[in-house]
Structure 1
């Protein structure tokens, strides 16, 4: 499929999605959200793809936020629907995708951009990255999961500080508080992210898929039950059979 606002590249078992709106610092508009949703849906169904990397074009911005011009004159009902629809077709879709999604945060990651990165399973950032949720400066709150995902990643107190103050934090500070996993130079960011993707792609796709489901339930009462059920289900699947057989035969598994 041809896209206007994103670039999709496939390298071996890794797909790289680049948000390509450099004139607006890769701000999210409705068309970009829809294109991302379509791309993630198609990649989730592609058995050849094991890992997906999400990044922004250029050297300044991952995603600088939502395209405010699109919703500046919305009323309450339209705004709620905007939030609800975005969660359904993109942010929740990424979080619950059966394949790992790694955000390569290459610059500004603000508002909807940070919410997009937080929906990913892993976050790497460049040294020049700035992260924040500035919505309260507009008289709003984060509407794409920021108030829900940020506390789970950094704790309620730090999440409140970031949301209430609307301050941007550096990539290094983001690593210190657990918002990003690693920080690299801008030149190293994508190669290091691809290295991680390659490592992940060698492991069991079905095991990883079940792990995503279990980890996403870790803050719910059903978390342990989800883990135990998934653990049992995997014993009937080919990946487990190959993994155990390879271990017993002292060879690398072929998933």
Structure 2
């Protein structure tokens, strides 16, 4: 079985950051920390003009939080630290001075939807259905909520957050603004992502930097906001309701 990893590859001034976990690309703390660190690192690299974020494997883009780690949380501080991992990745993408292209090849759940929502431009296959399942576990999409709401609007975000058992199609996500384009196959997606990234390399890096700041205007408080949200999730994950729900995954 392939071990979990985060790796980067820089070619022709395009940095590709890829994460993988054998449990449907779920995100434990160490992967989250490495992902945030890698995105920050390539964002500061003057040799990089564009960043592509993708996951390994052919099916699920990201299953969200690691259930194994959620089950092991026994105190509020540990819970806050775990959920802060998602906050750190979102904030790394938010403050990165380069455009980040998301390549979403398959289903995306919970924190994975937050990840996709934090891309500057996201492209997907028709298999990339999305679901915010947190409420079903007795917690909620508190940390990723601001990023998802920014892309889908309050209406779209509340719809998938409340209907926590349903996968919404890639076409629905495209119509709501999460995905810019939806492709029939992964091969078509990869060609489109590659060509788009090359086109973005033609832009003035200074203009891109200012555009990023403009697009993310009004999110300057997210460093504090998302950590406050992580505290809420850190408390709720210890509730008897959530503990009972998580037992099913042991």
Shorter-chain TM band: 0.7 to 0.9
* 1:154-185 deviation line (CA, Å, top 9, x unaligned): 22122111001112111111111112111012
Contact persistence 1:122–1:180 (CA under 8 A): yes
State how 1:14-163 maps to structure 2 within 5 Å. Answer: 14-21=14-21, 23-74=22-73, 75-87=75-87, 89-145=88-144, 147-163=145-161
Unaligned runs of 5+ in 2: 221-250
CA–CA distance in 2 between the matches of 1:143 and 1:176? 23
CA–CA distance in 2 between the matches of 1:45 and 1:152? 25
Measured after TM superposition, the shift of residue 81 of structure 1 is 3.3
* 1:207-232 deviation line (CA, Å, top 9, x unaligned): 10111011111579xxxxxxxxxxxx
Ranked by relative contact order (alpha carbons within 8 Å, sequence separation 6 or more), the top structure is 2
Query: Given the alignment, which residue of 163, 166, 176 partners 1:165?
Result: 163
Match of 2:239 in 1: none
CA–CA distance in 2 between the matches of 1:82 and 1:119? 19
Aligned residue-pair number: 215
TM-score between the two structures when normalised by the length of structure 2: 0.80
Contact persistence 1:175–1:182 (CA under 8 A): yes
CA–CA distance in 1 between the matches of 2:98 and 2:45? 10
Match of 1:227 in 2: none
Contact persistence 2:49–2:205 (CA under 8 A): yes
The structure whose Rg is larger is: 1
Unaligned runs of 5+ in 1: 221-255
- SS in structure 2 of the partner of residue 101 of structure 1: strand
